[in-house]
Amino acid sequence: MIYKPSSARYDTMLYNRCGNSGLMLPAMSLGLWHNFGGVDFFENGREIIRTAFDNGITHIDLANNYGPPPGSAEENFGVILKKDFTGYLRDELVISSKAGYTMWPGPYGDWGSRKYLIASLNQSLQRMQLDYVDIFYSHRPDPNTPLEETMQALHDIVKSGKALYIGLSNYHQSEAKQAIEILKKLGTPCLIHQPKYSMFERWVEDGLMDLLEENGIGCIPFSPLAQGLLTDKYLQGDIPQQSRAAKAHGALQTSAITPEVLAQITALNNLAQNRGQSLAQMALAWILKDKRVTTVLIGVSSVEQLHNNLSTLNKLNFDQEELAAIEQILKEA
């Protein structure tokens, strides 16, 4: 069936300015790390992307290695773009990709050399059948490549027109600080930082968020639901068949679902219910309560999960008692 985007697509989504830049991003963005690869059901992914766009999610996040197999999420996304996002709809999308983790064999398919980043982006553009991405990230810092080389490559990529903006991912505060300074000097400011951040993983609170704010850089936290732990899916203590934890290629280990974690998510779930929300919604609202967060980067395996997560936007506020109760539960690990 021919896709016609909803004419109401901009009616309910919130859009936040990304740091001090001119770019607005939706409060919720969609990542294609899992569920969009060659091993997944193509039409399910396609329906998720259509539904996301119909609900104002204009930002889609990819990386060279998303799949499995690596590269297949970009390939599938390219097909979806060609089939569904015709005409000028490309201009209503902010598409990102990254390089930094292992992509191809040999010394040029990993980490942060100029050689790898530029070749990888060229491959990503081919797979997605695009002329440019909106944001290109260094996916992780490389301890063995001079930061100057990695940043110069990012700067040159922007100069070449193959990316409009530059981002950093998984850079801790001190690495990020140096990279931000180098990029500033080169004249290509860092737009955004993509760190892992959830109720269960809070290192960004120890300085990174302050650094981003001081430098007018946006923040897009990934794995806000701790890959599904912060939902009602594992509450019963078993591993549902289609869940990420059950999949051989899923990055969530069943060993992560300990009795302590189960006790915490049960308590958090009770709190969410008292707020009239699902646990997933409360966990996403908790990320968005920090005004330095531009957009929360979700992953979903179904349209139902996407709708559930989108409803987070109906209740974002917390009172002090609720926040204190969450802290108390998280302390009881």
Ligand X SMILES: NC(=O)c1ccc[n+]([C@@H]2O[C@H](COP(=O)([O-])OP(=O)(O)OC[C@H]3O[C@@H](n4cnc5c(N)ncnc54)[C@H](OP(=O)(O)O)[C@@H]3O)[C@@H](O)[C@H]2O)c1
Among 103, 228, 285, 286, contact with ligand X (rule: CB under 6 A): 228
| Complex with ligand X: residue 138 or 145, whichever CB lies closer | 138
Q: Which stretch binds ligand X (CB under 6 A): 30-38, 78-86, 210-218, 322-330?
A: 30-38
In the stretch 53-72, what mask flags binding to ligand X with x, by CB under 6 A?
--------x-----------
| Complex with ligand X: residue 185 or 201, whichever CB lies closer | 201
| Complex with ligand X: residue 130 or 226, whichever CB lies closer | 226
CA dihedral over 241, 244, 250, 256, signed as positive or negative: negative
Task: Write down the least CB distance from residue 35 to ligand X, Å.
Answer: 6
Among 224, 287, 313, 326, contact with ligand X (rule: CB under 6 A): 224
77 belongs to the binding site for ligand X (CB under 6 A): no
305 belongs to the binding site for ligand X (CB under 6 A): yes
Measured between alpha carbons, how far is 167 from 121 in angstroms, rounded to an integer?
13
231 belongs to the binding site for ligand X (CB under 6 A): yes
Among 25, 32, 293, 326, contact with ligand X (rule: CB under 6 A): 32
Residue ranges in 130-189 that form contacts with ligand X under rule CB under 6 A: 139, 169-170
| Complex with ligand X: residue 31 or 218, whichever CB lies closer | 31
Q: Which stretch binds ligand X (CB under 6 A): 26-34, 107-115, 119-127, 201-209?
A: 26-34
Measured between alpha carbons, how far is 69 from 74 in angstroms, rounded to an integer?
10
Residue ranges in 244-303 that form contacts with ligand X under rule CB under 6 A: 244, 280, 297-301
Measured between alpha carbons, how far is 12 from 313 in angstroms, rounded to an integer?
9
Query: Which positions lie near ligand X, rule CB under 6 A?
Result: 31-35, 61, 139, 169-170, 194, 222-228, 231, 233, 243-244, 280, 297-301, 305, 308-309
